[in-house]
Amino acid sequence: MTTHNEKAAPVPNEIVRVHLRMAGETIVFMTHGMRFEVGDKVIVEADRGLEYGDVVTSNEPFDHKLFDKPLKKVIRKANPWDEEQIQKNKGKTRDLMDICSRKIREQNLPMKLVDAEYSFDRSKIVFYFTSESRVDFRNLVRELASIFRVRIELRQIGVRDEARMLGGFGPCGRQLCCIAFLKDFAPVTIKMAKVQNLPLNPAKISGLCGRLMCCLGYEHECYQELFRGMPKVGKEIKTEHGKGKVVSVNPLKRTVTVDLGEGNLKDVPVDEKEAKK
């Protein structure tokens, strides 16, 4: 018990990063003196009302220089009542989707509805959709607001976000990286596949979203480093077996396959060859 002569311990200035709702963004919140671990479910302040989310980083020191506006705070760890409310909200998803899909068809809008969810306090419904073009959905918003009597938000997402929301498994047999651990989508280019000598077959290097697989970027820098100093395919080099042309490169083994003529192929360690044009 604190006496009049004692001062209460100062509340540490710490932050955590929270992934909001099912398909919301990851936002930084003040901890307000509470301790959190990765995976904790929390109730947080939102622009209007309360939201729920999952903690994706444990407590970190707060540096006010990194933020240009005040941060909102975590209200509490989700309790059993909160968990029940979240599940009730999720149970309404099918009804939200059915009504919105019907209205989209009635208005003949060029959009594909992907998912829908209530905010924690049911003050807002967010509908997620994809479209190849801009969509004028003002009439749709008005109709939905008159039906549900809450604030309506329609959010256009990309195909990668759609894959993250719908879930699935990659060709590796594991859960999609965007669901399992990826926080943001880093740019992925066809050059990354070329550097790794992968077949440029869209079916082989594309994910469920139809875009290049995110995992192409994981080892890109490593392959760039491994290829440094390696001769390129088509280059003529001198080896202990004679002069030949490089027909393939194996950066992991640090070897090149050389055509010495008349179909005579030899694997040559890079350190034992002399590069020569």
Mark whether 97 and 120 lie in a shared domain. Answer: yes
User: How many Å apart are CA 196 and CA 218, to the nearest integer?
Assistant: 11
CB contact at 8 A, 120 and 43: yes
Mark whether 67 and 98 lie in a shared domain. Answer: no
Cβ-Cβ contacts under 8 Å for 265 (sequence gap 6 or more): 247, 257, 258, 259
Mark whether 168 and 114 lie in a shared domain. Answer: no
Average pLDDT in the 120-146 region? 93
Would you state the pLDDT for residue 231? 87
**pLDDT, tens digit, for every residue of 89-111?**
999 999 999 999 999 999 999 99
**DSSP structural state of residue 186:** -
Q: Is 6 a domain residue?
A: no
Average pLDDT in the 250-269 region? 86
Q: Is 229 a domain residue?
A: no
Q: Tell which of 55, 78, 101 closes a domain.
A: 78
Q: Is 3 a domain residue?
A: no
Range of the domain at 59: 14-78
Q: Is 146 a domain residue?
A: yes
**pLDDT, tens digit, for every residue of 194-235?**
888 888 888 889 988 889 999 998 888 888 888 888 888 888
How many domains does the structure of the chain reveal?
4
3-state secondary structure of 258: strand
